[in-house]
Chain A
């Protein structure tokens, strides 16, 4: 088990390097120039001025050189400075990270718990009205765009019923309170979770059905165990195994969904920051954001693999 974990952690290091190389190349090869986005046309001092700015930011050097310089700084914990605000990238991202984590974690928890419950209900009552309703609802859930759900939710709950505020993380007039924060969180988190929840429902249903047809469940029933013992001890636990992997596979999608949700609900997280940085062509921030989110996904996957090995003895034995 320890060997397995050490090997997986070691493999993740070259993957991190790969992530950084790919991101750096993509972002720097893209046309469009931060200098022209930065210069105020009314104060334009001529091309020499632009050239001086380009040199001061190191943008005149070849890309491989810039990558090595960037990597050397990153290893010392310096992710560079925003072209726009000149603040350290790490500070800017940290300011936004908590908001995004709150939103995506809530979304992930809602999606995992409700999705698993729905899927298992559907499987236990296969071909019943519950099953058909949940199957159709989950198909609609993965098909209807997140931003359309968000618009409808805003229209109904914020604009018509006035139950839930339409923007921000808390009421600015009242200041930050936990209750106020939750009040603002519930709608974006729920809308964000719909897509993953529906996908999870479909997976959990399949996983549970597969387990219910397995020989050991038949054996358990043949022994005369009560049905709820068969379901909870024998079937349920094994159906949860694939859900571990599915949950982490949802992460990239949730981070993507968070960009839309944050923009629509003015949730001050990394998604909103990324849209702003794209408009400004603020490369250091974009690099930082991509690097952070890819790293997050990479290590979430690693965690899932370890949890999986821990939960499923068959994998431990193989090693």
Chain B
């Protein structure tokens, strides 16, 4: 399963990188004479440059080229937002678990506070007020993704801190920094990796939802979410399914693939889930 997931992600990434070779239209090239054309096959319905194997959208842009190009945005947002939240979550969780006492209390109350916010709602407000661009999306999505990881890391730090080998290091006079970076951090990276795989999926879905509502990445830059915006019109939804169906399938496949990989990684790193 995890390998199927990996294969899908590799396929979408390499298509996005090789876009100039595998497509024959520019993703942003507008051609109003080809307004909402249905899919047409090369050499059967005309020459290669005239045909659009997935059809064209409401501005005559080639849907195939846009699908291929849009993968970049989704995967970038997913990776970077999840990385950012893993970074914040690990730091807060480590400090909280290692320092304990007052600091721990304060940080955990703050974490619970961020968790009570209806995340998607806050992200919508912040992104649209700060300005909908790629960087803001990544920062805002990343900022709301860390609480779960902070709690996970804290829990792990608390249990690792009492392990004999860490006690031994402490007894030998290891500094706090050495205990944290050499003895504790490597022990929790596996958990952070699994949690991060699962938030990549969440971040991709959030970006898609925002772009679909028209407050994410703005056109002409294609993203799978904003390619489906026009389907909010019942006319396009009913009569031009080739416009909204492929991007929907592309997002779904990507997120399924990421979740497959996350499940696989969890089973590989955490033998407890493999019992029975």
Q: Do A and B interact?
A: yes
Among the 9-residue stretches A45-53, A175-183, A285-293, the one with 4 or more Cβ atoms under 8 Å from chain B is A285-293
Interface size on A, residues (CB 8 A): 52
Give residues of chain A (101-144) contacting chain B, Cβ–Cβ below 8 Å: 126, 139-140, 142-144
Q: Does A185 contact B (CB under 8 A)?
A: no
8 contacts between A and B (CB under 8 A): A15-B109, A18-B113, A139-B263, A251-B118, A253-B119, A255-B118, A278-B215, A298-B116
The answer to whether B118 and A297 touch across the interface, beta carbons within 8 angstroms, is yes
Size of B's binding interface in residues, CB under 8 A: 46
Interface residues of A, Cβ cutoff 8 Å to B: 11, 14-15, 18-19, 22, 26-27, 30-32, 126, 139-140, 142-148, 151-152, 154-155, 159-160, 166, 209, 213, 251-253, 255-257, 259-260, 263-264, 274-275, 278, 281, 286, 289-290, 293-294, 297-298, 301
Q: Point out the residues of chain B lying under 8 angstroms from A143, CB to CB.
A: 201, 252, 255-256, 258-259
Asked whether, in the complex, the Cβ of B125 is within 8 Å of the Cβ of A26, the reply is yes
Nearest A-chain residue to B257, judged by Cβ: A143
A145 touching B241, Cβ below 8 Å: no
Which residues in B have their C-beta under 8 angstroms from that of A32? 129
Interface centre among B121, B237, B276 (most CB of A within 10 A): B121
Q: Which residues of B contact A15 (CB under 8 A)?
A: 109, 112-113, 116
* Complex contact B129–A294 (CB within 8 A): no
Q: Once the chains are docked, how many angstroms separate the CA of A19 from the CA of B121?
A: 14
- Give chain A nearest CB distance to B120 CB in angstroms: 3
State in angstroms the CA–CA spacing of A166 and B238 once bound together: 12
Tell me the smallest distance from the CB of A233 to a CB of chain B, in Å. 22
- Give CA–CA (A145, B252) in the complex, Å: 7
CA distance A166 to B234 in the complex (A): 9
Q: How far is the CB of B10 from chain A (nearest CB, A)?
A: 18
Contact string against A for B residues 81-121, beta-carbon threshold 8 Å, 1 for contact and 0 otherwise: 00000000000000000000000000001101101111111
Is A301's CB under 8 angstroms from B116's CB? yes
B146 CB-CB contact with A under 8 Å: no
Do residues A257 and B120 form an inter-chain contact, with CB atoms below 8 A? yes
**Are A144 and B113 also in contact (CB < 8 A) when A256-B121, A275-B213 are?**
no
Least Cβ–Cβ distance between B247 and chain A, in angstroms: 9
Report if B209 contacts A (CB, 8 A). Answer: yes
* B167 contacts partner chain A, Cβ-Cβ < 8 Å: no
> Does B209 contact A19, Cβ atoms closer than 8 Å?
no
Q: Which of B194-211 contact A (CB under 8 A)?
A: 201, 205, 208-209
CA distance A260 to B208 in the complex (A): 11
Contact residues in B for A140 (Cβ distance below 8 Å): 252, 256
For the complex, give the distance between the alpha carbons of A316 and B208 in Å.
43
Interface string of B8-37 (1 = CB under 8 A from A): 000000000000000000000000000000
Contact partners of A159 in chain B: CB under 8 A: 234, 237-238
Q: Which of B96-155 contact A (CB under 8 A)?
A: 109-110, 112-113, 115-122, 124-126, 128-131
Additional pairs, 15, CB under 8 Å, beyond known A32-B129, A147-B212, A259-B124: A15-B116, A26-B126, A30-B126, A140-B252, A145-B251, A145-B252, A145-B255, A151-B228, A154-B234, A159-B237, A253-B119, A255-B121, A256-B121, A278-B128, A286-B125
Q: Which residue of B lies closest to A29 (CB)?
A: B129
Most-contacted residue by chain B among A15, A145, A213, A290 (CB, 10 A):
A145
Question: Is the Cβ of A19 less than 8 Å from the Cβ of B237?
Answer: no
* B71: min CB distance to chain A, Å: 15
Residues of B within 8 A of A294 (CB): 116-118
A151 touches B244 (CB 8 A): yes
A294 to B131 CA separation, bound complex (whole angstroms): 23
Which B residues are in CB contact (< 8 Å) with A19? 113, 116-117
Q: Is the CB of B209 within 8 A of A145?
A: yes
CA distance A32 to B126 in the complex (A): 12
Query: Are A253's CB and B113's CB within 8 A?
Result: no
Interface assignment of B260: CB less than 8 Å from any CB of chain A: yes
Are B116's CB and A139's CB within 8 A? Answer: no
State in angstroms the CA–CA spacing of A24 and B28 once bound together. Answer: 39
Our pick among B120, B231, B241, B252 for the contact of A255 (Cβ within 8 Å) is B120
